[in-house]
Amino acid sequence: MRSFENLIAGKRLPSISGKWLPSLDPYRNENWCEVPDSDAADVDAAVAAASDAFKSAAWGDLTATARGTLLRKLADLIAENAQQLAEIEVRDNGKLFSEMLVQLRYIPQWFYYYGGLADKIEGGVLPIDKAEHFVYTTWEPLGVVAAITAWNSPLLLLTWKLAPGLAAGNTFVIKPSEFSSASTLAFVDLFEKAGFPPGVVNVVCGTGQAVGAPLVSHPGVAKVAFTGSDATGRAISRIAAGELKHLTMELGGKSPNIVFDDADQDAAAAGVASGIFAAAGQTCMAGSRLLVQRTIYDDFLARVRALASSIKMGDPMDLETQMGPLANIAQYKKVLSCIADAKSEGCVVALGGTTHEHAGGGLFVNPTIFRDVDNQSQLAQREVFGPVLAVIPFDTDEEALQLANGTNFGLGAGIWTKDMSRVFRFAKRLQSGTVWVNTYRALAFMAPFGGVKSSGLGRESGQETIKAYMQTKTVWINNSTQPPGNPFIMRLG
């Protein structure tokens, strides 16, 4: 079995306790590698390394332009190693090689983008209201950032944190998901090759309780950048608030795809299927609720059902495969229990709802559709994170909006219509961080992404994100030759 080690202060290390965690290949349902089962002692060492690197001249004195150059070198190396990294991700989480290769080939764009942005973050000279004072602002990095990621797209989610955070001048301790740490451990080899000083990027593997919790509460950590479930996000936010840390939270969703009777129905059906069955539904932006106008309800459902029935399931490395296994046993059990709960709360199965037996022996669940679902049901309210679609009819635009906004989440929303005035009305009134119109699951490095309500705090990607890894400093210089005023009165006037 392959072993991957932590990276702390530029050194490859096992956990201090010497314990290991096995990592599952979900297609074969067998362990294929092991990663360190670390704890608070490893976290202490990694935070100390990141803190030393932050204060070091080798990193701290680099100009923003020089940091940008490092990020661009890293981007080149990622592009060169895209195939090998994608293969590790597929082995570790069962997602399709065809999708992971596209992700890995696109990930360099974030490093080019933020590499270019690094030296364009400008402070200002303030037109201050006090004579003979010169006052300016600068933007500074925060310090050590804890990046905690989920298992579904490990390197993409990590990139959304590292690229802006390193461009801003911070250092990192990364805690990948215990279910898919291998690609992160292979990825960080590239930082040394690109010329980043040791300790700027560190990785500590282990469980949420043993590594994530002590990392979040560590006094040496200035910011927590988290991707995961809303339950874990809330737990982390409570601890981070107590320690007054900066936070970015990318959490789950229950995103609606809203299909009107004037939509291009072929395009809409393909978009709906891609929204929920791509990646076997294991994406934060899964369009897991389908709202369909009643005038086309049966026809449209039949189209989506036909597409879902024809999905080719199998080996995620096979370029013909359209849906792979679920990523780990815990998630497999969770999806099956959500399906069982939906059946017992009276939801009507229109397709699937069963496991899929496959020669690979992996953790497959068939594409599943429930029809005529009540928006108040658990199925419509709870994130499943699997290939399970809840279909809900509506009559009017207003009803569609109420249903779309009627969950605690607000990550993404899709609208399928040709009516542009409706598009603008919905884009304004949908409670969602992203609205896709006649498309779904599209992302780009310059487009902010993130959630409202229980789907998160802050945004990733886009220009504004770099400032979530920075803080302003205001510098007051008194040029006056006049005698000082009354020292016991604040200098306001």
> Is 131 exposed, middle or buried, given 0-12, 13-18 or 19+ CB atoms closer than 10 A?
exposed
> What 3-state class would DSSP assign to 25?
strand
355, β-bridge pairs:
365
Least separation in angstroms between residue 425's CB and ligand NAD is: 26
For ligand NAD, the closer of residues 149 and 322 by Cβ is 149
Least separation in angstroms between residue 148's CB and ligand NAD is: 5
Least separation in angstroms between residue 216's CB and ligand NAD is: 5
| Interacting residues toward ligand NAD by CB under 6 A | 148-152, 157, 175, 177-178, 207-209, 212-213, 216, 227-229, 232, 235-236, 250-253, 284, 383, 385, 411, 451, 456
For ligand NAD, the closer of residues 49 and 156 by Cβ is 156
CA angle at residue 314 from 308 to 317, to 5 degrees?
120
The total number of residues written for the chain in this structure: 493
For ligand NAD, the closer of residues 68 and 433 by Cβ is 433
Least separation in angstroms between residue 413's CB and ligand NAD is: 14
CA–CA separation, 379 and 394 (whole Å): 17
**Residue 399 · residue 429 · CB < 8 Å:** no
**Token reading at 453:** 């309500």
For ligand NAD, the closer of residues 149 and 417 by Cβ is 149
> Which residues lie below 8 Å from residue 436, measured CB to CB, with a gap of 6+?
412, 413, 414, 415, 442
Least separation in angstroms between residue 231's CB and ligand NAD is: 7
**Residue 42 · residue 211 · CB < 8 Å:** yes
HSE-CB for 249 with a 13 A CA cutoff: 29
Of 271, 224, 218, 275, give the one whose Cα is nearest residue 251.
224
284 is catalytic: yes
**Token reading at 326:** 């679920």
250 is catalytic: yes
b/e map of 77-111 (b: 16 or more CB within 10 Å)? Answer: bbbebbeebbbbbbbbbbbbbbbbbebbebbbbbb
For ligand NAD, the closer of residues 164 and 212 by Cβ is 212
Least separation in angstroms between residue 251's CB and ligand NAD is: 5
Catalytic residue selected from 284, 338, 383, 460 = 284
CA–CA separation, 457 and 284 (whole Å): 14
- Going by DSSP bridges, is the β-strand pair 368-371/348-351 parallel, antiparallel, or unpaired? antiparallel
For ligand NAD, the closer of residues 213 and 290 by Cβ is 213
Residues tagged active-site = 250, 284
